[in-house]
Amino acid sequence: MSKSIFVNLPVIDLQKSKTFYEVLGFQNNPQFSDETAACMVWSDAIYVMLLTHEKWRTFTERPIPPTNSSEVMLALTCENRENVDNLNRLANENGGTSDINRSQDHGFMYSRAIGDPDGHVWELFWMDPAAIQS
């Protein structure tokens, strides 16, 4: 079995969150989705499970962080700088928050952070492939 990651996120409005992630380019896997959860696929190895609060509580009794806090910042690579900017714009236009952190431009690396409708933080970044070659 190949290794992959399933990021589980509690969400207030499952349909709104599902739509938000679809606009960013995630695809829904209906095999692992129902009225309490949506499996959103970014790549062959990256999956985001959107869980209603009720479903979330079946996995843990730990409290759900408030939407204005940051428990983690998840980072996704993008094809180029324009893709970073486009996803940032799409997040803002579809119920998320753009530029929740200061954007960073180091020449060889460019990033902007967004928040989804529930405040989960995603850093969208591009890195020049020439900068990471040894």
* Number of compact structural domains in the chain: 2
Segments forming the whole domain that contains residue 56:
1-61
Q: Exposed, middle or buried, 38 (CB in 10 Å: 0-12/13-18/19+)?
A: buried
What is the model's pLDDT at position 126? Answer: 96
Domain edge (last residue) among 61, 88, 113: 61
Which of 99, 95, 92, 106 has its CA nearest to residue 124? Answer: 99
**82 and 115 share one domain:** yes
The residue from 17, 34, 61 where one domain ends is: 61
Q: What is the mean pLDDT of the chain?
A: 94
Q: What is the pLDDT of residues 49-105, one digit of tens each?
A: 999 999 999 999 999 988 888 888 999 999 999 999 999 999 999 999 999 999 999
CATH code of the domain covering residue 93: 3.10.180.10
In percent, how much of the chain has pLDDT > 70?
Answer: 99
